[in-house]
Every structure is written in C-alpha cells, then in structure tokens.
C-alpha cells in the first residue's frame, strides 16, 4: 500500500479505534465518567457521543465499582463494553469486580463463559496532579491470571492494541499514558490489529538490551541515541503487553547483548521490571549475562506534587543514559 | 354441618389470591417440586459434607425455599439471574439439574463448573443463571449490566438479582440500584432478608427497619413480601418483572425470611436464640405451600406425597451420579483461564 | 417617607433570622472576611495558574463560599473537617492561613504539605482540616472514622464532612452514612450540591431530586439549605452540629449551590448554558451576605469595603510569600513516606 | 528466663497480641465483620468481645471500603484501629482507602500526620473455598510505598509481628495464612515484638538458599530436611516482612550458597519471588550465582475448587524437593 502517511495523536488514535469498533459491531459500546458531551477528561472520546448517541457513549455517575460490575454483566449477556476510568487511580475502587469477577468468571464457571470487556486506564505521572492521580498500577493487574494487560507507547499501537483488545474474548486492561495523549505519530486508516502478547524491537543494538514500557520507551530511545554517539549500541524493546509476556523476544535479545536494563514508571519494587529480571534470571539467558540486571523504576514514594520532585520520582532520560552506560562499562 | 366439597372449593376460589390464577396448576405443582428438590438437595449436600465427601464450605438456604422459587417462577429461560453464596435454591429455581450441581460439589468434570467453582460459584449459564458469587453484593452490578445488555439488544427479557440483607450495606448495592434506576433498566432486585448477615442482625447493621425502606433513595418501588409464603413472593416479583419488561424500570422486593441452619458449617449460632430458630421452623415455607395447594384444590395429599418422594429419588440418584463422575486431571489446572482459539 | 434608621433597625431585629443572634457581630464579620478571602484566594490562584506559576490542576469553588464558611462557622479548632478536590474554601473556612496555602500551590517547603500535596491535598491538620481529597467521596468514611475516634475518646467534638453531589453516587457515601447512623457518631455530612459532578447533572446521575432525599435510607435527618445564603447554611449546620455534639447522631445537610467557574481548567462548559451560569452569578453569596450585614445593622458599607480591601492585601502578600518560598530538594523525594524514628 | 515453654496456635497467638495491645493502650480497638459474638470467621478474635466490650471489638456491617476509611479516619484522629478483613480477597473492595489514603496520607500532607493502623488479611488457598476466597495478594500491597507488609509463618511471629505492627506509626498490613491458624508453636507470654523488616534464617545450609514466605516456609523446611538426607544442605530464610525487604540477609545467604530459590504461594508472575530474584540479580550477589534463580510460585490460574487441582495450583513439598535438587545438581 502506498497510502500517504497520516499522523494522529495518541488520543485521536484511540478515538479512531473506538469509532471503528463501534461502527463494525453493534454490540460495542463505551461507558465512563464524562465521556459524553464533555468528551472525556483527556478528550479521548471527543465527539463520539454525537456520532453514536448517548446509548452507546454512556456517561456514568461517579460509581467506579458499579460501572465495572455493569461491564462484567453486559459482557456476560452478549454486549461488548469498553469502560473508561477517568484516572487509573480510581480503578482501585473497582478492583473487586476486575479481579474477583472479570478475571476469574470464566475459570470459576468451568470455561463456560467468556467476559469480553475492555477497560481503559489513563495512568502515569508528569501532570502535576499529585499522588492520587498519577499512579502506574499496571503491575497489579499483570499479576492477575485471567486478565490481559497492554500498555501502548505510540499512536499506532494505541489504535492497534485497542482494536485487538476489543476483539479479544477475555478481559483486557489497556493502560494509557496521560503524557502521551498529545504525542503524534503515524496511524494507518485501516482497522489493523497489533497482536496482544508481542513485544516490539524499537531499535537494534548489541551492547545492552533495554526493556521499556509506555512513555519510558521514548526515554529509552533518547538514551540509546545519545549512547550510540559514545559507541554504545543499545537494543530497545517496547514490551507493549504485560500479560501475557513475550518472553521469547526478550530472551533472544539478552542472549545477543548479554546485558539487560528494565525501564518502567511504576514503583520499582514489584514493578514490571522485577518480573522481566526474574524471567531472565531463571531462563536460559542467565548464562549469557555479563552484568547484573538493572532496574530503573519509580522511587519508593507516592508521586509528589512539586514538579521537580515529581520528575525525580520516575526515570528520566539522563538517568537512563548514565546507568546504562555504567552497565555496559561494567560499573554496576 | 360440613359444607359439601364442591362449595368449599368454589368459595376458596373466590377468595383465592391472584397467585393461583397467574400460574397454572402444573406450574404451581412444579413450584412445589422445586421447593422440595431444593430442601432435599441441601439436606443431601449437608450430609455428604459432614461425611467428608464434599470439601470446602457451603451455605444452606433451608427455610428460604419460597423466595428462591417464588421469585423465579415468572422468569423465562432467556431471563437472567445472578445469585449469591447462598445460591442453591436460586439455581434449582431457575431450572438447573440437581445431579449436575452435585457433580460440581463433588468437584467433577461433569459439574456445572467442571469442578472449578463448587458451591459458591454454582451456575448454569444455559438456564440463564449467571452464577452464585463468593463476594457479598458482587452479583448486583453484574445483574444491572446484564439488564443493560438486554436493553441494548432490544430484548424483552429481564435480569433478576438475588442478594441478602447484609449485601445492602455494600457500596455496590447503592451504585448498582442508582444506575439501574436512572437508566430504567429491566432488572428486579430481590433481597432475601433473613435477619442476619452472618452473625450481625439487621438491627445492628442497618439504620432502617426494612431493606425496602432504601428503595426510595433510588426512586424505585420498595415492596415487602412474606418470604416464607411463596404466593406473596411470586405476586410481588411477578409485578416487578412485568414492570421491568414494560420498560418501567427496576423494583426492589424484600422477602422477609429466615435461614434455619447456621450461616455456614462453622456457625455456633451464638448470635441468636434457639427459640427464634424454632419459631421460624414453624413457619416452614414448604409445609405452608402444601397446605395451600390442598386448600385451593390444586393438589391432593397424594400428589404432594408423590412430589416429595420423587424429589427424594432424584436427589439420591444425583448423588450417585456425582460420586461416579470424572475427576479433573491436575495437568489441566490452568484450563479455562483464557478462552482458547483466542485471536491474540 | 423613609423610616428613621433606628426604627428600621429594631424592626429588622425582630424579623431577624436566628443566624444573626447565634453569632456575634465579630463572628459575622469574620465570616464575611473569610468568604472574601476565599474568593480572592481562588482568583489569585487562578491567575497564577494561567500565568504558568502554578502547575497541575485546580478546582475553584467561586460561587460556593457561603457553604464553605457557613458550615465551618460553628466549629471549634478541635473539631475536624474532611474536604474535597474543591477544597480551598473549606480550608480557609476552618482557619487556614492563605499564605501557607499559596506556598503549597507553589510547591514550596513552607506550604501546608511541604509542596508534596498541592491544591488537591491541601490540609491544615493544626486547624483540624484533615485534608482535601483527590478521590471523590474518599473523605466521607475518613470523617466517620474521625467521629468514631472522637466518641471513643469521649470528646464532645464533631467531624464535619464536605462532599459534592456527584460523590453521593459512590458506594463509600452509602457505607459511611449507614455506619455513622447505626453507631450514632458525631458527624455532620455537608453536601455541596452544585448541580453537576464534572459534566454530569444530578438529573442524569441521581435517581432522586435531592441529595437530602437519600437521608431517609440512613434514618437521619436530611435538610436542604440554600447554599448561596450563608444564614441558611449556618443555621442548618449549627443545628446539625449541636445534635452531633449531644450524641444524637449524624445529619445530612444539602447546600444547593453552583460553581460559576468550570469544573477545572480544562472545562469548556459544554454541558450547561451561559444563561444558567449568568443566572447563578446574580445570586452571588458574598454580595448577598454584604447586603444582609448592612440591612441587619451589623456592618457598615465602609467596614465591608475595608474587609474586602484587607482580603486583597492579604492575598497579594500571600502570593509574594509563596513565590519566595523554599524549593524542596530532589534528594528529598522520599521524605515523608514513613514516619521517622520508627520502632521497626 | 526459664519460664516453661508454652504452646499456642497461630490464631491464639494473634488473639493474645490483640488482647495485650488493648490492655496496654486504651486507644487500640479492633473492628471487622463477625469479630464480636461470632468470634471471627476463623475464631481469631474469639471471646475478646466479652473481655473488652462491643465498643472496642466492633462488628461492622458488610462494608469493607467504608470500614477501611473509618480506620484511616480514626487513626488520624488519635485512635489505633485494627481492621480484620474476613478474607483478604475482600480487601479488593477497600483498595482505594488502603492505597490512595492510608499509604499516601502522610506523604501527601508533607509528613505532618501519621496513619497508625493495622489491617489483618487472612489469605491463601487450601480450604476448598475456591477462587474468590483463596487469593494471596500480598505482592500488591508490597508494591505500594507508604505501607508495610508482614507475613508471619509461626505462632511466635504472628504475635510478635502483630504487636510490632500495632506499635508502628505507619499502616501495616498483616497477611495471615488460613491454613496456619491451627498450627501450634511456642509463644512466650510477655509482650515481645518481632521487628518489622527482619527476615529469619530458619535453617542454615551451604548448597542453596530458599527464600520462602508464610506457609511455604514449612514446606521449604520439609524439603530441606529431605534434601539433607541426600547431602544437599539448604538454607531456609523466612522472609517475614515483604515491605521493607531485608535485603542484607538474603544477599549474604546467596553469596554463601550461590544458589537461590524463592517459594511463595501468590501467583508466580509478579509475586514476591520476582522481587527477590530481581534484587539478587541487580546486587553484588549476582557475581556469586552458580545457577539461574528459581521461582516456585502459584500457577497462572485462579484457585480451583476441586481439591486435587487446588493443591496443584500452589507449591507443594515434593515439587520443592525436586526443583531444588535440580537447581543444586545443575539441571536448571
Ligand atoms: C465482600 C464480602 N464480604 C464479606 C464476605 C463474608 N460473608 C459471606 S456471606 C456473609 C453474610 C452475608 O449476609 P447476607 O447478605 O444477609 O446473606 P445471607 O448469608 O444472610 O444469605 C459474609 C459476611 C463475603 N463473602 N464477601
Ligand atoms: C473516585 C473518583 N472518581 C472520579 C474522579 C474525577 N473527578 C474529580 S471531581 C469529579 C466531579 C465530582 O463531582 P461532585 O462530587 O459533585 O463535586 P464538585 O466537583 O461538583 O464540587 C470527578 C468525576 C475522582 N477524582 N475520583
Ligand atoms: Mg442475611
Ligand atoms: Mg457537584
């Protein structure tokens, strides 16, 4: 295909996926707080309510637990709900339905039902919204069998992973990053899917592998660019799916580069980097390792309001450069 | 001088409650059959549990059969129910086969949940039962979601949601009833108020006297039924179902009833008196219904005895079936977590 | 012919609302001062935000000052409040110093939260404000817990809990009000019903017309006050506080009001009309109170002008103070997560 | 002290800690569902309501989120609440208050308050109660800065850690194991504390280290005993505290044994073993490792009802023996 490149923002790409799915399948509907005439807190749903009507773009009361349960029930009864949490932090109110019901229903009922729902969770820090509006809780949900968890880092993947999530017969949690909503990138017009469970090698390299998620993919790529100028060639893997993990792609890369750093925004302790590290440490790649496995994650603190502190709380490009340089130079 | 039988019958008919006209004699006898089945099923399960044949825990609804059956009588197969940890009655009420329930309790592949769910997750999706729930109030928003799907799909089905008095203290109850009401969804909320949430009485856990008193906060009718009288339950719920089908929105029906067994096997009944239990035993819903069926000329004593005997036999056969079922293989431990043939 | 001033005064006095007797002239003028401070504080914060001096987000309560001040007038320093994302007014009402609030907004160590919390977590524990809350309804059970502690400690303090109309659709509201009622805790629930939870009107999000209609589900008084008239709010809340102090349990007070600004800075007001906003602007709570203070002979126009000018000056000085505050060091990023000198 | 040894069950030890704390400090009270006259679903509170009255042993309605918020508020206002969740699974309903409020309050308020509360969370599988009553979600809470998380494995520690938790000025989550409630062990009568943040070496060895938690400590010790008969000497560390981690004890052990296995009941993926593994893989101990790091955790499935499947879902002693043997013999 030689169609001219078209750029959309990450938010527009998500909106396009929603519209595409609603047009293709009458069962698909979206629900959430202020997603109708307000257009969503981050203007992701935008004008969809005018295109699809209030019955398919449903404003809910501020009732996260109830809304999540309604999504479960609607999915069981043949509809295809997509629930937007206004901030992923508020999903803490709905954990019961997400974890005890959506994730386990199929298993508990002996495989006799599926729960095809999608939840969208705007996450991450950097907006000055402080500790209760800035969390990255994706590791929680990646810990839960029965769920699938994706975390797109580009407009292209935001659309493609969301469409794959909507197709999926099982519950899929989509962690979006608030700072990425305005990022632009190429987005094909057709209804392509990005497969759930496949990582993407964003840059090839031979001295070290960085496995990064979400916005950290971009910081890792910036760091790789700088390090390349120093002769250090870093392979950057965009994890994209946190459950199920694309173990093969990571193992293969580490066998080649012999060094691994994980860069993620969630709290370092028990964040996704812990799993990647442990995966490698128990895999065949272990024998190839020439250095300890590095984790760069969020500090052990809630996200502060003050912007300088807020930046200090999660990995930034200069820190990634320095630490990966040390890793490759054997200083860790 | 005793009135001739025919006269007594016609007089009874004129005083008859709508219940006896809304349902055919066959339906009424089927209702009794299901009540008997529930009772025997639970007695059988209890015995198997005590003999160590069934593990885990279970919550018996003995004494509450009228609400389970009365509330499900007017439902179609395509209507949904969501149920609770005390859900055996709801399951049989909605049409499940006791032998497949027993197979579930015995942890067998033949069970409704292939032995993965047990008593607390008993379900029969085929008959519209979306499942018992181990989380108090967990099924309430799920029922509302099913009702939303029904409305979206322009079906005239309803979702009926069972829950206990204790569940109404959960936030999920509040959120779900509010949304059901603002969106006028075809859902019927059936609270089985058996006076206790485990050990805590409604007096100690609720600020109002009746669960139905909470309905006004959601601008929906709140109706109280005698939960030990099937005619009372069925009339209230039938009206609520009709409202729901006609697009007039949800109703909250409170069935006042009582569980004569403990909350679960570990209950030592320290929070209530023997007298209270005995008093309620006298109000047995099955005995009451049998008397009424005879009094209303719908069934003879012989027919009732036959129904009861058939239930005994069915339960005994069900237990046999279950014990001879297939044990799942430990290699299959993760089977059923995800849908196979999954696109991604 | 105009009546002589003295006569007008005494006539007014005889018609006077209890509010003007319950509080001393000094208290009433202090109330006006706080309302003015809130207004100027938010205008100042808004301007600083638009000039890029403050980051993050903020929720202005312009138009709602009467409920913030009216509800806190009868509180003591040892009483608690819990507040919301729209909490600047509550904070000043309870006695916080605007310059330390500004320091917080500017992210400085001098700020109430040492720059860690910002607008959404503004608190002043010293004055009994347990904090704004970024989670809608998050503060409701916390206030009930504070009331429980008060009762346990046999204090005659109260906890007063602010929240919006939208918050009443959260399960936390339901659970908290029920427990407050069954345990008769000294807590006052003050709902600031400004007609919208972000973009969603109460008509679209609540099944009942008034938040106060929900009180009956918790067996507590539900009172409606005109939230733009401080006398109305203060009288209702003072009664509720007295009830709470006397051990008679909680009250739900609904203050009908309106936010004339958008929900937050990103709001394009698509869900309401300009006319509606303009109509409510005419019902300005500060202008109303000023008129009433003069009419009731409590303050002269000059005094009122002086209060207003003093507020302007205090706010300007507060912003100066804040801008010159100390920036936290990035090395201190984890300071304050755990209590130091911790035994284990 | 030469006091005669006294044995209590794990449940009795907890009850004794509760009574001790309530006697010593009027501010301490306990709340939860059916903890009064019923004595608690697992009979942990037993007769305490008769000793301390209904005001200090408070039955709550079935309102987990509200109860957690009440605990936060009471702690802020000078009381010392201890909240029992009937099953840790139901704490999913209260995550908002636990994670957004209790954990972050001190930080968000600039360190000007403390939130001294304790939550007790009966966890784990093995009782046939199926997927919604058998979870091990301790990794979730160990991921959250602001919380402390302990997991006692013996009656002794159940008492000592609970007393330390009640003393602590910050929120402490105590994960108890339902299968341990009836386990007996030595429990001194005095009000001793077991420090939060210190692991215990339960058995010394030189060929491999097992870091285990909760009930898995006992299975690991059984395995170590069997392996000792084969000449394989396994060091068994009882982690005891999941946040903050006792990194030093683990690193020191691994440097000595050169092999590490983590045994835990939570789902393997992103369970506590992932963190332990990653910790070692990024530490100085990395260079000492002679084998990949082994994780034995729960399978990627909800807990099944059927008892055979239920056992197959989490580590059992024979599996631990086999895998650790392989680890030491270089077969991994
Ligand atoms: C969220 C949640 N909290 C607590 C429990 C433990 N529990 C199971 S049943 C029950 C009592 C429920 O009372 P009610 O709703 O009145 O139903 P009943 O048992 O009386 O039928 C409790 C507390 C649970 N399963 N789920
Ligand atoms: C649990 C939760 N859900 C959603 C939000 C996002 N949000 C912040 S304020 C708000 C509207 C709140 O409405 P209301 O309670 O009426 O207060 P108001 O803003 O009108 O003062 C929403 C949806 C939130 N902060 N917390
Ligand atoms: Mg009950
Ligand atoms: Mg509002």
Q: CB of D135 within 8 A of CB of D88?
A: yes
Q: Which residue of A has its CA nearest to B334?
A: A107
DSSP-based three-state secondary structure for B325: coil
Q: Which ligand is nearest to the CA of B64?
A: 1
**Cα of C267 to ligand 2 centre, how many Å?**
13
Phi, psi of A58, rounded to the nearest 5 degrees: -100, 120
Give chain A's domain count.
2
CB contact under 8 A, A302 and D104: yes
Those residues whose C-beta lies under 8 Å from the C-beta of residue C316, and which sit 6 or more positions away, are C44
Chain B closest CA to A152's CA: distance in Å? Answer: 15
Distance from CA of C180 to the nearest CA of B (A): 9
Tell which one of A86, A91, A122, A135 to mutate to probe ligand 2, the residue whose CB is within 8 A of the most ligand atoms: A86
Those residues whose C-beta lies under 8 Å from the C-beta of residue D164, and which sit 6 or more positions away, are: C343, C344, D150, D172, D193, D194, D195, D196
* Residue C3 pLDDT > 70: no
Give the whole-angstrom CA distance, residue D93 versus residue D90. 6
Q: Which helix or strand (DSSP H or E) is residue A175 part of?
A: strand A172-177
* B175 contacts on C by Cβ (under 8 Å): 169-171, 174
From chain A, the residues in CB contact with D146 under 8 A are: 302
Residue D139's closest chain A neighbor by CA?
A: A270
Regarding whether A102 and A243 lie in a shared domain, the answer is no
Cβ proximity of A282 and D293 under 8 Å:
yes
Please tell me whether residues D72 and D215 are part of one structural domain: no
Distance CA A74, CA D315 (A): 36
Please name the residue of chain A whose CA is at the shortest distance from the CA of residue D143.
A270
Give catalytic status of residue A143 as yes or no: no
Q: D304 to chain A nearest CA, in Å? A: 7
Same domain for D128 and D15? yes
Asked, for residue B212, whether it belongs to a domain, the answer is: yes
Q: Which chain A residues contact residue D270 at CB under 8 A? A: 139, 142-143, 270, 272, 274-275
Retrieve residue D28's tokens: 């301490």
Query: D60 C-alpha vs ligand 3 centroid, how far in Å?
Result: 14
Q: Would the CB atoms of B146 and A73 count as touching at under 8 Å?
A: yes
Pocket test for ligand 1, best of D34, D62, D94 (most atoms within 8 A of CB): D62
Q: What band does A2 get if pLDDT is binned at 50, 70 and 90?
A: low
Going by C-alpha positions, the residue among B79, B129, B127, B98 that lies closest to residue B33 is: B98
Q: Which SS3 state, helix, strand or coil, does residue D78 take?
A: coil
Q: What is the pLDDT of residue C12?
A: 52
Ligand 4 ion: Cβ-proximal residues, 5 Å cutoff = C 164-166, 194, 197
- Answer yes or no: is pLDDT of C7 > 60: no
Contacts for B258 with CB less than 8 Å, ≥ 6 apart: B63, B64, B194, B195, B227, B228, B277, B280, B283
Q: Tell me if residue C107 falls in helix, strand or coil.
A: coil
- B248 belongs to a structural domain: yes
Strand, coil or helix: what is C79? Answer: coil
C203 C-alpha to ligand 4 centroid (Å): 12
Q: Which atom of ligand 1 lies nearest, measured to the CA of B163?
A: 15
Task: Please tell me the distance between residue B77's alpha carbon and the centre of ligand 3 in angstroms.
Answer: 27
User: Per the domain annotation, does A272 fall within a domain?
Assistant: yes
Among chain A residues, CA nearest to C165: A62
Answer whether residue A240 is part of any domain. yes
D73 C-alpha to center of ligand 3: Å? 28
User: Are A182 and A209 part of one and the same domain?
Assistant: no
Confidence of residue C342 (pLDDT cuts 50, 70, 90): low
Q: Could you tell me if D44 and D142 lie in one domain?
A: yes
Residue B211 contacts residue B193 (beta carbons within 8 Å): yes
The CATH number that applies at residue C145 is: 3.40.50.970
Q: Which of D97, D118, D144 is nearest to D244 (CA)?
A: D144
A174 with A207, same domain: the answer is no
Q: Which residues contact C256 (CB under 8 A, 6 or more apart)?
A: C193, C224, C225, C226, C227, C228
> What are the structure tokens assigned to C154, written together?
């046999």
Marked catalytic residue, from D133, D156, D177, D207: D133
d(CA B86, CA A156): 48
Residue span of the structural domain in which C73 resides: 26-317
Instruction: Quote the ipTM score.
Output: 0.97
For residue B200, give the nearest of D61, D128, D131 by CB distance: D61
Is B208 within 8 Å of C220 when comparing Cβ atoms? Answer: no
| Among D239, D219, D283, residue whose Cα is nearest residue D138 | D239
Per-residue pLDDT, C14:
64
B274 CA: distance to closest CA in chain A (Å): 36
> pLDDT per position in chain D (332 positions), as tens?
556 689 999 999 999 999 999 999 999 999 999 999 999 999 999 999 999 999 999 999 999 999 999 999 999 999 999 999 999 999 999 999 999 999 999 999 999 999 999 999 999 999 999 999 999 999 999 999 999 999 999 999 999 999 999 999 999 999 999 999 999 999 999 999 999 999 999 999 999 999 999 999 999 999 999 999 999 999 999 999 999 999 999 999 999 999 999 999 999 999 999 999 999 999 999 999 999 999 999 999 999 999 999 999 999 999 999 999 999 999 87
A33 ligand 2 Cβ < 6 A: yes
Q: Which helix (H) or strand (E) holds B190?
A: strand B187-193
Residue D209's CATH number: 3.40.50.920
For residues A132 and A254, membership in a common domain is answered with no
**Spatial CB neighbours of A190, under 8 Å, sequence gap ≥ 6:** none
Best of B173, B197, B214 for a ligand 1 pocket test (most atoms within 8 Å of beta carbon)? B197
Q: Are residues D67 and D166 in the same domain?
A: yes
Distances (CA, A) of D64 to B136, B172, C184, D54, D261: 10, 11, 19, 19, 36
Pairing of strands B159-164, D7-9: unpaired
- Strands (E) across chain D are located at 7-9, 28-32, 57-59, 80-84, 118-123, 148-150, 172-177, 184-186, 200-203, 208-212, 234-238, 241-243, 260-267, 294-298
C197 lines ligand 2 (CB under 6 A): yes
Mean pLDDT of C144-171: 98
Residue nearest to atom 8 of ligand 2 (CA): C136
Q: Which of B133, B91, B147, D99 is nearest to A102 (CA)?
A: B133
Q: At what angle do helices C301-323 and C285-295 cross, to 10 degrees?
A: 140
pLDDT value, residue C59: 97
pLDDT the model gives residue B311: 98
Q: How does pLDDT run across C107-122, given as a tens digit for each residue?
A: 999 999 999 999 999 9
| Chains in contact with B, counting 3 or more C-beta pairs less than 8 Å apart as contact | A, C, D
CB contact under 8 A, B344 and A68: no
Domain final position from D118, D152, D186? D186
CA D294 – CA A46 distance, rounded (Å): 48
pLDDT at A3: 61
CB interface of B with D, residues 268-297, below 8 Å: 268, 270-271
A53 shares its domain with A124:
yes
User: C87 in a domain, yes or no?
Assistant: yes
Rounded Cα distance, D165 and B152, in Å: 51
**Which stretches in chain B have pLDDT values below 70?**
1-14, 342-344
- Asked if residue A268 and residue A158 are part of one domain, the reply reads no
Task: Say which of D69, D79, D112 has its CB closest to residue C141.
Answer: D69
Number of domains in chain C: 1
Residue D2 belongs to some domain of the structure? no
In chain B, whose CA is at the least distance from the CA of A161? B344
- How far is the C-alpha of D326 from the C-alpha of B169, rounded, in Å? 52
C118: closest CA among C87, C72, C162, C82?
Answer: C87
Give the pair of three-digit tokens for residue B91.
Answer: 């399951």
- Answer whether B206's CB lies under 8 Å from C217's CB: no
Q: Which ligand sits nearest to residue C195's alpha carbon?
A: 4
Domain limit, last residue, from D154, D186, D218: D186
Instruction: Decide whether any atom of ligand 2 lies within 6 Å of the A62 Cβ.
Output: yes
Question: C332 in a domain, yes or no?
Answer: no
Output the domain CATH number for residue A75. 3.40.50.970
Nearest ligand, measured from the Cα of C59: 2
* Cβ contact A308–C170 (<8 Å): no
Q: Is residue C19 part of a domain?
A: no
Residue A194 lies in a domain: no
Per the domain annotation, does A2 fall within a domain? Answer: no
Asked about D50 being catalytic, the answer comes back as no
- Taking an 8 Å cut-off on Cβ atoms, the answer to whether D69 and C172 are in contact is yes
Catalytic residue among A16, A33, A84, A133: A133
Helix or strand (DSSP H, E) at C41? helix C25-50
Angle, to 10 degrees, between the axis of helix B171-182 and the axis of helix B139-152?
20
Q: What is the mean pLDDT of residues A45-54?
A: 98
pLDDT at residue number C13: 55
Query: Is residue A133 located within the same domain as residue A241?
Result: no
Query: Is A311 within a domain?
Result: yes
Q: Which of D158, D186, D214 is the last residue of a domain?
A: D186
- For residue B283, being part of any structural domain is answered with yes
Instruction: Tell me which residue range forms the domain holding D146.
Output: 7-186
Examine residue A1 and state whether it is found in any structural domain, yes or no.
no
Question: Domain for residue C247, yes or no?
Answer: yes
Q: How far apart are alpha carbons A319 and A315 in whole angstroms?
A: 7
Mutate to test the interface with C, among D57, D80, D108 (most CBs of C within 10 A): D108
For residues D160 and D49, membership in a common domain is answered with yes
Residues 79-138, chain C: which have Cβ within 8 Å of D?
A: 80, 82, 111-117, 121, 123, 125, 130-131, 133-135, 138
Task: Kindly state whether residue C20 falls inside one of the protein's structural domains.
Answer: no
């Amino acid at each position: 295909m030689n169609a001219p490149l078209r750029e959309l923002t990450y938010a527009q790409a998500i909106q396009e996926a929603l519209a595409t799915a609603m047009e293709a399948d009458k069962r698909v509907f979206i629900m959430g707080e202020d997603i109708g005439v307000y257009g969503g807190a981050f203007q992701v749903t935008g004008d969809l309510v005018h295109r699809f009507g209030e019955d398919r773009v449903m404003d809910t009361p501020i009732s996260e637990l109830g809304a999540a349960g309604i999504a479960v029930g609607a999915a069981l009864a043949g509809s295809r709900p997509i629930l937007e949490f206004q901030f992923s932090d508020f999903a803490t109110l709905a954990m019961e339905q997400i974890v005890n019901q959506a994730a386990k229903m199929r298993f508990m009922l002996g495989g006799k039902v599926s729960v095809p729902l999608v939840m969208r969770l705007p996450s991450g820090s950097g907006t000055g919204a402080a500790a209760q509006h800035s969390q990255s809780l994706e590791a929680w949900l990646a810990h839960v069998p029965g769920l699938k968890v994706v975390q797109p880092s580009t407009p292209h993947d935001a659309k493609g992973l969301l469409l794959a999530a909507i197709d999926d017969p099982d519950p899929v949690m989509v962690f979006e990053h608030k700072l990425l909503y305005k990022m632009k990138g190429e987005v094909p017009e057709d209804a392509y899917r990005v497969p759930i469970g496949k990582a993407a090698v964003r840059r090839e390299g031979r001295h070290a592998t960085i496995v990064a998620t979400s916005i950290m993919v971009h910081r890792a790529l910036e760091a790789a660019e700088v390090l390349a100028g120093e002769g250090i060639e870093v392979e950057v893997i965009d994890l994209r799916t946190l459950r199920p993990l694309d173990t093969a792609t990571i193992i293969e890369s580490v066998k080649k580069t012999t060094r691994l750093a994980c860069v993620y925004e969630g709290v370092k302790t028990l964040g996704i980097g812990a799993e990647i590290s442990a995966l490698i440490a128990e895999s065949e790649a272990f024998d190839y390792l020439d250095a300890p496995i590095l984790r760069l994650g969020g500090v052990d603190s809630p996200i502060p309001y003050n912007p300088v502190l807020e930046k200090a709380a999660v990995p930034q490009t200069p820190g990634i450069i320095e630490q990966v340089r040390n890793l490759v130079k054997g200083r860790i | 001088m005793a009135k001739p039988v025919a006269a007594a019958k016609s007089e009874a008919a004129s005083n008859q409650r709508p219940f006896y006209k809304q349902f055919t004699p066959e339906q009424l006898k089927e209702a009794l059959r299901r009540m008997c089945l529930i009772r025997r099923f639970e007695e059988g399960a209890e015995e198997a549990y005590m003999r160590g044949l069934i593990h885990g825990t279970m919550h018996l609804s003995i004494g509450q059969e009228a609400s389970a059956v009365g509330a499900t009588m007017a439902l179609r197969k395509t209507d949904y129910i969501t149920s609770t940890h005390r859900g055996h009655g709801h399951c049989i009420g909605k049409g499940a086969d006791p032998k497949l329930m027993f197979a579930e309790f015995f942890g067998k592949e033949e069970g409704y949940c292939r032995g993965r769910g047990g008593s607390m997750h008993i379900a029969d999706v085929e008959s519209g039962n979306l499942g018992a729930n181990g989380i108090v109030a967990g099924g309430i928003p799920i029922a509302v979601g099913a009702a939303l799907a029904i409305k979206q799909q322009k079906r005239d089905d309803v979702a009926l949601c069972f829950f206990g008095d204790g569940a109404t203290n959960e936030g999920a109850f509040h959120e779900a009833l509010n949304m059901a009401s603002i969106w006028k969804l075809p859902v019927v909320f059936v609270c089985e108020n058996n006076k206790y949430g485990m050990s805590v009485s409604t007096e100690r856990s609720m600020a109002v006297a009746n669960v139905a008193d909470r309905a006004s906060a959601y601008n929906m009718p709140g109706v109280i039924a005698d939960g030990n009288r099937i005619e009372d339950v069925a009339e209230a719920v039938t009206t609520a179902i009709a409202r729901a089908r006609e697009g007039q929105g949800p109703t909250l029906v409170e069935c006042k009833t009582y569980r004569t067994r403990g909350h679960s096997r570990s209950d030592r009944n320290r929070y209530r008196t023997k007298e209270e239990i005995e008093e309620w035993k006298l109000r047995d819903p099955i005995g009451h219904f049998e008397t009424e069926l005879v009094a209303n000329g719908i069934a003879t004593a012989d027919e009732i005895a036959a129904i009861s005997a058939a239930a005994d036999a069915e339960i005994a056969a069900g237990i046999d079936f279950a014990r001879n079922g297939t044990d799942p293989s430990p290699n299959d431990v993760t089977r059923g977590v995800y849908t196979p043939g999954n696109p991604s």
